[in-house]
Structures are given as C-alpha cells and as structure tokens.
Structure 1
Amino acid sequence: MLPTVILPGYLESAIAYLPLQQALQQLGFPTSTVPLRRRDWLSTLGGRPITPILQQLDRTVKQALEQSDTGQINLIGHSAGGWISRIYLGEKPYLGRKELESQAFCHAYPNIANLITLGTPHISQERWTRWNLDFVNNNYPGAFYPSVRYICVAGKTVFGSRISTKWLAYSSYQQTCGVGNTWGDGITPIVAAHLEGAENLVIENVFHSPRSPGLWYGSPTILPSWVSYLS
C-alpha cells in the first residue's frame, strides 16, 4: 500500500483529520496529515499567496517518501486542499503576487500516484480566490497529468435556496459557480467539485466539513465509497 498524505481544507487544522488518518492506517495505508494549525492559514487570507501551505505540504510528502521505498504516494486534498494539491503537482513555478523567484517550487507530479479531492471547489467566482484558481486552471486544466489518477468526490446533500435554512448553501454555491439553486455538500456545488477527465464521484448525504454535525467525506460509513481508488 502506498503512503498517503492528507492536506486539510481552508482554515482547518490537522487535528480535525485525525479520525480519517487513523481509519486509513487501519486499512493498511501509512497515512500522515500535513501538520497545519488554523493560524497557519492567516497569512493566506484575502487572496494572498498559499506558499506557506505548499511548503508544509512539500515537507510532509518528502518525509512520507523517505520512509517508504515506493517512490510515490497517494495525496488526499479536502476542500481548498484539493486545488492547492493541483498547484503542488505542477511544473510551472508557483509565484504568489509580489513573491520572489527564490520562493517558488512545485513539480511534484512524478511522486503522486493518485490525487483524491474531497469537496474541492475547483472553480470560483469569488474574487479573493480567483487568482489562485485561475493559475491552476489555466496552467493545469482538468485531470492534467496522464500519469496521475484524479478522483474528484462531490456531495449531494443540500439544494441551495433563498429560504433561511438553505441560504448558506445558496450563497456559497453562487460565489463558487455563479448559481445558487443547485446541489452540493452545503459549501461546494457538485459542478465545481468535478474535473474534466477525472473519475468523478457523487455521494449523497455527506456534508462538507469534518466538523459538520452529520456525515462528511471521511466518516467511517462513507469511506468505502472512495477508498478503493487508493493504491
């Protein structure tokens, strides 16, 4: 079984993914989570570069490779962690606005066997995230690298509506894909969570976050829906 690395979602810490990490370990996958704390995201707010997250991801991936003789890993990106992972795979140096050339790096795709994205908004209409998402989608559209298996998992749980109980979903979907009246996981609409050329899955009754009161992508009863795609 290949080593597996989990990259948390935006403003989330590694501790929220400990149950998923432990579940994958019990299935035989040596699994680690990028050791992010919530405050590690603060420097990326307002559309600023996500270089600090890429650096921690790179360190975690290299540690996983050093501890294994496989030469490749599985990479799981939740929410924003999915599109950040796509930047990490890329050959073109990632340079956030006003960053120096010396800070740029990536080119990890030879080391990634499978990229699984969970509830990732691969597109956005929101101005603070457009720069980064335009970078990845313009440079690496769809399931870009043939050597990498892309698996994109979406949730079909909440239909966005202007009524009060569905307003958060409606607003989030609208900011993401431009349409509020659509299905998604309460945060990411299905249409944004899939990539052309990927193996695109839809799972019903899963919510976006590991902190959601109900089931989420990493819940024990949901895990069998996508874990078989890991090597």
Structure 2
Amino acid sequence: MPLPTVIVPGYLESAIAYRQLEQSLQQLNFPTVTVPLRRRDWLPTIGGRPVTPILQKLDLTIKHTLEQYNVTQINLIGHSAGGWISRIYMGEKPYMVGSNAKPSLWKAHPLVATLITLGTPHISQERWTRSNLDFVSNNYPGAFYKNVRYVCVAGKTIFGERRRGSWLAYSSYQLTCGKGNTWGDGITPIEAAHLEGAENLVIEGVRHSPRSPGMWYGSPEPLKAWVQYLI
C-alpha cells in the first residue's frame, strides 16, 4: 500500500474545501487525510503572526496518521501557504516569528517522504507574510532536505496586467515576486511557486483555490500531472 498522505490547507481555508481532493486520492488507493482546520483556526496568525497553532494541528494529524497506519513516513501535500508551513514543520531551527513568540521546533523531515506544494508562494514581498517566508528561505533554501522529495506545482493560467479581468492577478503577483506582468494561477506567480532543486511542474489552465471557478490543482485532470510523485 502507498504511504498515507496528509493535506495541509491554504491560508484562511478549512479542511472541507479539500474533501474532493481527499476522495480522489483515496480512489487512487492513497490513504489521505486533511489537517482538520476551520477558518477561525487561522485568526491568531493574521498580520504576520506565528503560524504555530497551524503547525501544532499539523503535528497532531501526522502523529495520529503514523500510528493509525503503522508507518514511519507520510507524504505531505501543502496547498498555498500550506506548502511553506510544511517546510517550517520539517525544519531543525527553532521557529520564532515576532518579539513575543515562543520558539517551537518539530524536526519532522525524517517523517516526510515527499512534499508536494500546490500554488505555494515560496517568496513574498508582502510585509505581513514576509517575516514567515524569510524564516523559511533563510533557514531551508530550495529543496533543502535531501531525504525528502520536493515537487512544486505552479499554474499558468492568468497573465497579470493592469486591466479588467487581470488586475487582481497583477496585484497579487506584484506583492509576491515584485512584478505583476507575469504568468501564474491568478494568485501565485510561477516563479514564486518553484524551488531550486525541486521537481518543478507547470500546469496550464488551473486556478489557485479549490473554491475558484473551473479547474484547480486538485481537480481530476490536473491531479494526473503530479499524483505520480506520491510514494
């Protein structure tokens, strides 16, 4: 049987939004669970504060999954912010963002066989998220742990322009990588979604969120492009 897979929701998103992806993976014989987040669980993290409450729920979910399936490793799928949160979780440096934060540490990379990130902004110019992302980039640059397979999936769907229909994408890309006139999934530009040393994929026609109209990364067709990397 393949290793169990844990899905980490994106920022301000609940586990419910990933039910279809969860079921699709289960039908392909990948035992799958989503970190049981509710939207309100993200409230303590708003404004660039530490994402420790999310990391704690991730840790509990993984420990339970390892025990339930009697395995020593899992696969991780991080959507959007869930991708860089997973990179913090795997790390060996005390995580502390903000002057009042208590350092936390998980050292979980030996537990992770494969990390797949879907539309994750691995860099940011935006001041609220930059403190967290700088922590990740400075301590764990690129596909940092050689014992983990990193697969970074980007979408090529909307070109950011200062005109109707493309303005949101332009603004989001600008905040993320410093330029708006580029391709991405409507929220995350391609260049921010990839990591040096990772298996970097681009899927055309996918939008950023499971709540977006049309296809997103977890829809049945795009899923075929990256599910092969799960162990």
TM bucket, shorter chain? over 0.9
Task: Name which of structure 1's ranges 6-15 and 60-69 shifts more when overlaid on structure 2.
Answer: 60-69
Question: Is the contact between residue 143 and residue 196 of structure 1 (CA under 8 Å) also seen in structure 2?
Answer: yes
For the residue of structure 1 that corresponds to 2:69, the secondary structure is: coil
Question: Is the contact between residue 91 and residue 105 of structure 2 (CA under 8 Å) also seen in structure 1?
Answer: no
Q: Deviations over 1:106-160 (max 9, x none)?
A: 1000000000000000000000011000001000000000000000000000000
- State how far apart, in whole Å, the 1-side matches of 2:112 and 2:72 are: 9
Residue 201 of structure 2 is matched in structure 1 by 201
TM-superposed CA distance for 1:93, in Å, is: 1.5
CA RMSD across the alignment: 0.7
* 1:90 and 2:95 correspond: no
Residue 136 of structure 1 is matched in structure 2 by 136
> Which stretches of structure 1, 4 residues or more, deviate above 2 A after TM superposition?
none
1:89 maps to amino acid: M
Gaps of 5+ in 1: none
TM-superposed CA distance for 1:100, in Å, is: 2.3
Residue 49 of structure 2 is matched in structure 1 by 48
Aligned ranges for residues 182-221 of structure 1 at < 5 Å?
182-221=182-221
Residue 170 of structure 2 is matched in structure 1 by 170
* 1:62 and 2:63 correspond: yes
- State how far apart, in whole Å, the 2-side matches of 1:18 and 1:116 are: 17
For the residue of structure 2 that corresponds to 1:226, the secondary structure is: helix
Aligned ranges for residues 100-115 of structure 1 at < 5 Å?
100-101=102-103, 104-115=104-115
Q: How many residues align?
A: 229
- State how far apart, in whole Å, the 1-side matches of 2:126 and 2:160 are: 17
TM-superposed CA distance for 1:67, in Å, is: 1.1
For the residue of structure 1 that corresponds to 2:191, the secondary structure is: helix
- State how far apart, in whole Å, the 1-side matches of 2:208 and 2:70 are: 34
Question: Is the contact between residue 6 and residue 77 of structure 2 (CA under 8 Å) also seen in structure 1?
Answer: yes
Q: Deviations over 1:52-81 (max 9, x none)?
A: 000000000101111123310000000000
- State how far apart, in whole Å, the 2-side matches of 1:156 and 1:165 are: 15
For the residue of structure 1 that corresponds to 2:220, the secondary structure is: coil
- State how far apart, in whole Å, the 1-side matches of 2:70 and 2:149 are: 20
Residue 146 of structure 2 is matched in structure 1 by 146
Question: Is the contact between residue 51 and residue 96 of structure 1 (CA under 8 Å) also seen in structure 2?
Answer: no
For the residue of structure 1 that corresponds to 2:97, the secondary structure is: coil
- State how far apart, in whole Å, the 2-side matches of 1:60 and 1:177 are: 32
For the residue of structure 2 that corresponds to 1:212, the secondary structure is: coil
Q: Deviations over 1:83-103 (max 9, x none)?
A: 0000000011212321124xx
Question: Is the contact between residue 156 and residue 190 of structure 2 (CA under 8 Å) also seen in structure 1?
Answer: yes
Question: Is the contact between residue 124 and residue 176 of structure 1 (CA under 8 Å) also seen in structure 2?
Answer: yes
TM-superposed CA distance for 1:164, in Å, is: 1.6
- State how far apart, in whole Å, the 2-side matches of 1:154 and 1:144 are: 19
- State how far apart, in whole Å, the 1-side matches of 2:102 and 2:57 are: 18
TM-superposed CA distance for 1:205, in Å, is: 0.2
